[in-house]
Amino acid sequence: MKQLENISDEIINVVKQLEEILIHLDINKVSSKTNTQNRTIKQIVGHLCDSASNNTHRIIHLQYQKSPLVFPDYANLGVNDIWIDIQDYNNYDWEDLIALCKYTNIHIANVIKKIDKSKLQNKWISALETEYSLEEIIIDYLKHFRIHFNEILKLVKD
């Protein structure tokens, strides 16, 4: 359980670091420079919002629904770019997008901090029919966030 509290605290720390970087970026750079997935910084930040939202729902459902749970899986089906396009993150107000990213991730960190530890081995079945425990999902969330954090850092430095 202590590991989950550490993950929650680390999510908040990384989000604060990211916010400090994002608020100082040139608005033209955030909507034009792209990574290897052809995503701009704004689109990566939007994806982090989507990830926080989707994982918050998954974490909550895994605590009260029957395990194993089949729940929509936007990432493994390759539709996360559709989410980015539909929400038009590249034209989203930059300050609002930074705030959305900050607060959706603070929220998931708080959800993780309050997790029912008796549910940590409840399973979610992905679209690829792979089973993941609630605990694995939580641990993976921070890893996923850091991957995109580092992508943003690389784009900022280039």
Domains and CATH numbers, the chain: 2-157 (1.20.120.450)
Identify any residues that bridge with 133 across adjacent strands, giving them in sequence order.
123
- Which of 129, 141, 102, 109 is closest to 21 using CA atoms? 102
How do beta strands 123-125 and 131-133 pair? antiparallel
- What are the mean pLDDT values of the chain's consecutive 10-residue runs (158 residues total)? 82 97 93 87 96 95 93 76 91 97 98 95 91 96 96 91
Verdict on whether the full-model pTM lies above 0.85: yes
- Which of 54, 46, 45, 44 is closest to 111 using CA atoms? 54
Phi-psi region of 67 (alpha: psi -120 to 50; beta: other; left: phi over 0): beta
**In the block, residue with structure tokens 């194993």:** 68
Residue 2 has a pLDDT of 63
Rounded to the nearest 5°, which phi and psi values hold at 101? -60, -45
